[in-house]
Each structure stands twice: as C-alpha cells, then as structure tokens.
Amino acid sequence: MAERKVDLKKNVFSKSQYIKTIDTQFSELGVTTLQEDLASQVDVNQFFQLYNDLFYEIPANGATNSHEYLVKTSGEYINFDLIQEEIEALREEISGLREENLELQVEVTKFQTGEDIDVGSLIKQAEEQIQTNE
C-alpha cells in the first residue's frame, strides 16, 4: 500500500481578526434584531388598510376572527353598552319633554280659543312623527 501524504492548513486568527472575519450572530435560528422586529410591526394605518382589503373575507359571525368579534371587543373597550343606555335615557327624556311641551301648547290654545282639543290624539300623532324621524 502506498502512503499518501495529506497537508493540513490551519488558519489562526487573533481575537480582533476573528471578530472581523467570522460571523458570530445567530442568523439561521430565527433570531431577529430589534430594528427588524420594529420594521415588521404593523402600524394603525397599515392595520386599517389590511382590514379594508380583507373586509369581505372576514366571516360575519364567530367567536374569534370575525366582524362580530371585532364589534364585541371594540364595544367593550369603549363601553358601548353604557353609551347606548345613556342615549336611550336621553331619548326617553326628550320624548317626555315633547309630550309636556305639547300639553302646554294645548293649554295655551284652549285659553286662546276656548275650544277643547283631544290631547291624546295629538300626543299619538307626535309619537308617530317622532318614530318616523328616528
């Protein structure tokens, strides 16, 4: 058997040469830098652009990932139910004040003309008009 001679070369680096020559960062394991993380974040404008692009692909109903879920969670965030209750209470107050105003106008008309006016039918007409306006 013939012997073969193999020459081995060994490169030795000083510490400063090693840092400049060899990449010691973990780039293959999915580790990203802070700048890369920040660059990949979606801002509010991008979110709404994506939302508009995907609007018809999002299911209407569902426990998660649906328009129903968005409405529910956003409504909870802004206390939507409390706002709706306040709006309803204000509408009822407005309705009561309108009835009171109508009754006072009827009283004034009675004093001016001396005629009796059917307040019930006027209130009913006013309520119907209010409902059609809402």
Give how far Cα 18 sits from Cα of 8, 11, 26, 59, Å. Answer: 20, 10, 16, 55
Structure tokens at 58: 């999002």
Domain assignment of residue 25, yes or no: no
Per residue in 45-88, pLDDT tens? 999 999 999 999 999 999 999 999 998 898 888 888 788 888 89
Q: Does residue 35 lie within any of the structural domains?
A: no
Range of the domain at 113: 94-133
Domain assignment present for residue 116? The answer is yes
Q: Per residue in 22-36, pLDDT tens?
A: 777 766 666 777 788
State the DSSP H helix or E strand holding residue 23, giving kind and residue range, or none if neither. none
Say if pTM beats, i.e. exceeds, 0.85.
Answer: no
Contact 60, 66 (CB under 8 A): yes
Residue ranges in the chain assigned as alpha helix (H): 15-21, 34-40, 44-54, 67-77, 80-113, 119-133
